[in-house]
Structure 1
Amino acid sequence: MTNASRLTNHRPVQLDDVSKAIIEQLQADGRRSYADIGKAVGLSEAAVRQRVQRLTESGVMQIVAVTDPMQLGFTRQAMIGIRAAGDTRELAEELAAIPEIDYVVLTAGSFDLLAEVVCENDEQLISLLNSKIRALDGVQTTETFVYLKLQKQFYNWGTR
Structure 2
Amino acid sequence: MTINARANGGRPAHLDDVSKAIIEQLQRDGRRSYSDIGRAVGLSEAAVRQRVQRLQETGVMQIVAVTDPTQLGFARQAMIGVRVSGDTRAVADRLAELGEIDYVVLTAGSFDLLAEVVCEDDEQLIALLNDRIRSIEGVASTETFVYLRLHKQHYDWGTR
Structure 1-normalised TM-score?
Answer: 0.95
SS of the equivalent of 1:8 reads coil
Q: Tell me the distance in 1 between the aligned counterparts of 2:157 and 2:85.
A: 34
Q: Over the residues paired in the alignment, what is the CA RMSD in angstroms?
A: 1.0
Indicate the residue corresponding to 1:3 in structure 2.
2
The reply to whether residue 19 of structure 1 matches residue 19 of structure 2 is: yes
Corresponding position of 1:63: 63
Counterpart residue type for residue 46 of structure 2? A
Q: CA deviation at 1:7?
A: 2.5
Write out per-residue CA displacement over residues 88-118 of structure 1, whole angstroms, 9 at most, x where no aligned residue: 0000000000000001111111111111000
Q: Does residue 66 of structure 2 align to residue 72 of structure 1?
A: no
Deviations 1:37-78 (A, max 9, x none): 111111110000000000100011000000000100000000
Aligned to 2:87: 87
* Structure 2 unpaired stretches of 5+: none
Deviations 1:19-46 (A, max 9, x none): 1111111111100000111111111100
Cα distance, 1:3 vs. partner?
Answer: 2.1
Structure 1, gaps ≥5 residues long: none
Question: Matched residue of 1:7: which SS?
Answer: coil
Secondary structure of 2:5's partner? Answer: helix
Cα distance in 1 for partners of 2:158, 2:99 equals: 27
- For 2:52 and 2:125, the matched residues in 1 are separated by 38
% identical equivalent positions: 75
1:158 to partner: Cα distance: 2.5
Shift of 1:84: 0.9
Offset at residue 86 of structure 1 (A)? 0.5
Give the corresponding residue for 2:151.
Answer: 151
- Runs of 4+ in structure 1 over 2 Å off: 6-10
Which letter does structure 2 place at the counterpart of 1:127?
A
The number of equivalent residue pairs is 158
Q: Supply the distance in 2 between the matched residues of 1:17 and 1:106 (Cα, whole angstroms).
A: 31
Q: Distance in 2 between matches of 1:8 and 1:107?
A: 16
Once residues 37 and 17 of structure 1 are traced to their aligned partners in structure 2, the CA distance between those partners, rounded to angstroms, is 14
